[in-house]
Amino acid sequence: MTDTPDDDRPELTPQSIDHTHLPDQTMYKVAWDAVTHFEQGGDDVLTYPLVITNEFKLLYFEMAPGATIDWHTHTPAFDEVALSLGGTARYTLEREDGSHQVLDIEPRQSVYVPGGARHTIESVGDERHEGLVAMPSDPVARVEMLEGASPYRMEDWPVALWVDRKRDEVVEKDDEAVST
């Protein structure tokens, strides 16, 4: 294999890209205040599904002080990244040997939870915890969903914007929350 000097490469410009095979090139703005939510364990934990595509989900969630998202186990390919926007959250991961790893995240901090991890999330302190979560778009995100003991099903989510990138179409769009 030989290296090609940079000056021998063809120049790539926006005009030289063949857009024929690209998906619809429309951006969407989601107004969080208008997004419908669902509750996990009463009104102490509110989840707002913002955007779902074939590749990822983006959720905003709020937890009242002292609220907990109970122990659950994600499927092995289901990595999760959560960003704290307000308040403090305590993430507790249960390892295979039964020991626990505990991390507190505050605003402008994030936590990575690996796929297959059994964990719980608790809002700590006197402030409401607000977070933003990015994860793969998997209709069976939790092992508990396979056993029928899930508190929710993805098809029941009141999602603001659901884009099927394979079919290149918007499956669901809440016109009150989403604009172009």
For residue 61, list its beta bridge partners.
47, 131
Look at residue 41 in the predicted model and tell me its pLDDT. Answer: 65
Who's near 102: CB < 8 A, 6+ residues apart? 90, 91, 92, 93
State pTM to two decimals.
Answer: 0.74
Nearest to residue 89, comparing CAs of 121, 45, 119?
A: 121
Give the model confidence (pLDDT) of 30-54 as tens digits.
998 888 887 876 679 998 999 988 8
Report residues of the chain scoring pLDDT below 70.
1-7, 12, 14-21, 41-42, 138-157
Distance CA 93, CA 7 (A): 50
For 105, the 3-state DSSP assignment is: strand
Distance CA 14, CA 143 (A): 44
Give the model confidence (pLDDT) of 130-156 as tens digits.
999 998 876 555 555 555 544 445 566
Kindly list the structural domains of the chain, giving each domain's residue range(s) and its CATH number in brackets, ordered by start.
28-172 (2.60.120.10)
